[in-house]
Amino acid sequence: MGRKGEKTREAIREQAYRLFAEKGFKSVTMSDICERTGLSRGGLYRYYAGTEQIFSEILSEEYEIADRIERKEPAGAILDDMLSAIYAEIMEKERSLSLAIYEYANMGNEPFFAEINERAKKRWISLLEYGAGTGEFREVDTGAVSELILYYYQGLRMWSRVISFDEKTAENYEKMIRQILRRE
Amino acid sequence: MGRKGEKTREAIREQAYRLFAEKGFKSVTMSDICERTGLSRGGLYRYYAGTEQIFSEILSEEYEIADRIERKEPAGAILDDMLSAIYAEIMEKERSLSLAIYEYANMGNEPFFAEINERAKKRWISLLEYGAGTGEFREVDTGAVSELILYYYQGLRMWSRVISFDEKTAENYEKMIRQILRRE
DNA sequence: TCAAAAAGCGACAACAATGTCTCTTATTTC
DNA sequence: GAAATAAGAGACATTGTTGTCGCTTTTTGA
């Protein structure tokens, strides 16, 4: 019963994702999504009541993935993973939602993103503490350093849409973070 | 001849600035600006052909101010000035155009902002070189460090609209930068 | 295979924003 | 203070977007 609908739902999200990545949140209309999916208005509205609904569904998928990093490896190895994930994200561009997310955040969804951000910061703090405990990292002001890691990354990610970075810029990020954490 | 017009022009820019700071670029309509200024459509269109025109005029004022930092003081003093300007910008919020600028940048104005950014980076690089020359700062990879300074700042500035920072966060910025530059 | 349910269509009314044009009202300037 | 010019009003046609609704087509499962 009703199996085809799920395929369409996914196709809608897939196409909408691309549109949001291209144009941000505000500039995407339901008509745009109709066009891309080949659906009519009636067809599309059967699934989603508007762009906000589609976007928030995309977002929850997105952050679900980002949130499930939880292991018990050496701090250095975890750091490697996180930095290479970040490197990839800075370099990808085409699928970057940074504009859409930022627009959406500024439309009354501040608390949600404050929360996301708080969690990310806590994750970094606990990694830094853990690494300092095992002696892999230098002792640092974990609050300040995790903010640096996060906002430096945000700045890069956002402006990589506007300025065409070479790999050097993304490498510099990694290099600076490692340098800050390196034991002398 | 025609003096009153200039007053109105300025009033339009002033009100438009507020709107852009509140809602970003895309969400501001000519009708919004009519409402705030108390002008009719005909009246407003006599001065500006659209929101892009108003915004780009506001931008050029904005960057004109930002661009004229050129002195021959000790590197440490220049650094102090720049950091305190940054501190103020992170904390102000109400008049922050960061959303508007980012939206506008992503609407085909990438080259303009790439250029602005390039200049800012060069300014930092030359300050870092100068300071290392006088022995006030540590010798660092000036390219990498200036990127860190810039994008960390961008990240902070953008997300300060969404997350209510306390002064601590802005202070941490200053602290980290000084620490990176401090001679041992 | 065929009836019921799900999926999809496209016209339509309502609204919001744009840019223009003509007319009226203020402001200069002499 | 009167003619010339600038500033401003507001109605209008146009365009784009939204959300809905009744109808048709397709899918599904008994």
- B148 inside 8 A of chain A by CB: yes
Nearest nt to A47, CA vs C1'? C7
Higher-confidence position of A165 and A70:
A165
pLDDT at B67 over 80: no
Distance measured from the CA of protein residue A47 to the C1' of nucleotide D26, in angstroms: 17
pLDDT at B17 (0 to 100): 98
CB contacts < 8 A, A to B, total: 111
Q: CA–CA separation, B111 vs A129, rounded Å?
A: 41
Architecture of domain B62-181: Orthogonal Bundle (1.10)
Q: CA–CA separation, B184 vs A60, rounded Å?
A: 46
Cα A3 versus chain centre, distance: 31
Chain A residues touching B151 at Cβ < 8 A: 152, 155-156, 159
- As a whole number, the mean pLDDT across chain B is 93
Higher-confidence position of A115 and B94:
A115
Given a contact cutoff of 8 angstroms between Cβ atoms, the answer to whether A155 and A68 are in contact is: no
- Per-residue CB contacts under 7 A with strand D, chain B residues 11-70: 38-43, 45-47
pLDDT at A79 over 70: yes
pLDDT at B108 over 60: yes
Tokens of A109: 């969804």
pLDDT at B5 (0 to 100): 86
Number of C-beta neighbours around residue B79 at 10 A: 22
Least confident of A137-141, B2-6, B67-71, B87-91: B67-71
Confidence of residue A66 (pLDDT cuts 50, 70, 90): low
Query: Between chains, do A114 and B176 touch, taking CB under 8 Å as contact?
Result: no
| Min distance B44 CA to chain A CA atoms (Å) | 25
Classify residue B89 as left (phi > 0), alpha (psi -120 to 50) or beta: alpha
Domains of chain B, residue spans:
3-57, 62-181
Distance measured from the CA of protein residue B45 to the C1' of nucleotide C20, in angstroms: 10
Tokens of A9: 């739902």
Number of C-beta neighbours around residue B77 at 10 A: 11
pLDDT at B68 (0 to 100): 57
Nearest nt to B43, CA vs C1'? D8
Over its C-alpha atoms, chain A yields an Rg (Å, rounded) of 19
pLDDT at B51 over 70: yes
Query: Between chains, do B105 and A162 touch, taking CB under 8 Å as contact?
Result: yes
Give the residue carrying structure tokens 């501190």: B87
Nearest residue, CB atoms, B27 vs list A26, A105, A172:
A26
Dihedral pair phi/psi, residue B152, rounded to 5°: -60, -45
Distance measured from the CA of protein residue A58 to the C1' of nucleotide D8, in angstroms: 47
Given a contact cutoff of 8 angstroms between Cβ atoms, the answer to whether B35 and B70 are in contact is: no
pLDDT at A183 (0 to 100): 84
Nearest residue, CB atoms, A103 vs list B103, B147, B163:
B103
End-to-end distance of chain B based on CA atoms, in angstroms?
65
Give the residue carrying structure tokens 């001065």: B47
Query: Between chains, do A148 and B176 touch, taking CB under 8 Å as contact?
Result: yes
The percent of residues above 70 in pLDDT, for chain A, comes to 95
| Interval B141-163 mean pLDDT | 97
| Min distance B108 CA to chain A CA atoms (Å) | 9
- As a whole number, the mean pLDDT across chain A is 93
Query: Between chains, do A158 and B155 touch, taking CB under 8 Å as contact?
Result: yes
The answer to whether the C-beta of B71 is closer than 7 A to strand C is no
pLDDT at A69 (0 to 100): 56
The answer to whether the C-beta of B111 is closer than 7 A to strand D is no
Spell out the CATH class of A3-57: mainly alpha
| Min distance B148 CA to chain A CA atoms (Å) | 6
| Min distance A162 CA to chain B CA atoms (Å) | 5
Given a contact cutoff of 8 angstroms between Cβ atoms, the answer to whether B157 and B98 are in contact is: yes
Higher-confidence position of A94 and B137:
B137
Residue type, A127: L
Confidence of residue B73 (pLDDT cuts 50, 70, 90): confident
Q: Which residue of B has its CA nearest to A148?
A: B152
